[in-house]
Amino acid sequence: MKAVILAAGRGSRLAPYSEILPKPLMPVTVDGTGAFVPIIDLLIAQISRAGVDGIVVAVNYLAEMIVRHLGDGSRFGLPISYVYQEQLDGNAGAFYRAQSLVRGQDVIVTDSDNYLDDAEVFTAMAERHRSSGAACTVAVSRVENIRKFAIIKTGARGEAVDIFEKPEDRGVWGNLAKSGMMILSAELASEDKSIALTPQGEYTTTAIIKHCLATGKPVELFELSGGFNDIGTWPEYLSVLKRTIV
């Protein structure tokens, strides 16, 4: 199994800090020596527990800082390589730049700004993916504000039946949000990127899920027991720091 971390965005909602520090390097906790630990270090440690044998990081904004910080991955105990998303054409656009590097294996695809309390979440998610035989396993969580997320509509048995970005009607769509973490089967990860193309000309992971649902490919929902925090905004970021540092 491989992993792709999507780390190309500007993180503009965390300005002014993100003007000098890329969002993946924002500190979210401290280690045993009292040194700050960036969110991407925490994600790599969690991903490594799932048994991946390599990570690809998609970069753009302040890319050189991320590459210099992570290096070749030797201090994490697994190789890290990089792809450059020269055009910010969607989160799946970043994945497809890494496609040739992960072909032939199942792939964890994750945003770089999700803080997860559960250190074993990727391990449990990978086990579910393998046992279910799904084409796509999507980490989901119940949220209060559905207008901030892609919401997955479920059927009578709790199965995914549709997905919609930032809906307004909770009565129709519910409140089960796509978290920004998913696992693609080797077969799905090898398909042409056209499956991820939206009418707006972007390539998104939401469109990949829509493709699976439309073509009958099995989608497994993995509900996060501890939830998650998207640290891309100051309120969410500060809520994490209050639990981990302050």
Give 187-238 as a DSSP string. HHHTS-GGGGB-TTS-B-HHHHHHHHHHHT--EEEEE-TT--EETTSHHHHH
At 168-219, the pLDDT tens digits run 999 889 999 999 899 999 999 999 999 999 999 999 999 999 999 999 999 9
Q: Which of 22-31, 91-100, 123-132, 195-204 has the lowest mean pLDDT?
A: 22-31
Residues with Cβ < 8 Å from 20, sequence gap 6 or more? Answer: none
Among 25, 27, 22, which residue's Cα sits nearest to residue 12? 22
Helix 39-48 × helix 121-132 angle, to 10°:
40
For 2-244, which CATH superfamily applies?
Answer: Spore Coat Polysaccharide Biosynthesis Protein SpsA; Chain A (3.90.550.10)
> What is the three-class DSSP state of 150?
strand
Mean pLDDT of the chain: 94
Provide the residue ranges of all domains of the chain, joining segments of one domain with +.
2-244
Rg of the chain (C-alpha set): 17
Kindly report the pTM of this predicted structure. Answer: 0.94
Q: What is the pLDDT of residue 109?
A: 98
Q: Tell me the C-alpha distance between 140 and 228, whole Å.
A: 9
Q: Tell me the C-alpha distance between 45 and 233, whole Å.
A: 23
Location of structure tokens 């695809």:
109
pLDDT category, 97, cuts 50, 70, 90?
very high
Asked whether residue 246 carries a pLDDT value surpassing 70, the answer given is no
Q: Tell me the C-alpha distance between 64 and 208, whole Å.
A: 30
- Cα angle for residues 2, 5, 87 (degrees, 5° grid): 120
Residues with Cβ < 8 Å from 66, sequence gap 6 or more? Answer: 7, 22, 24, 25, 40, 57, 59
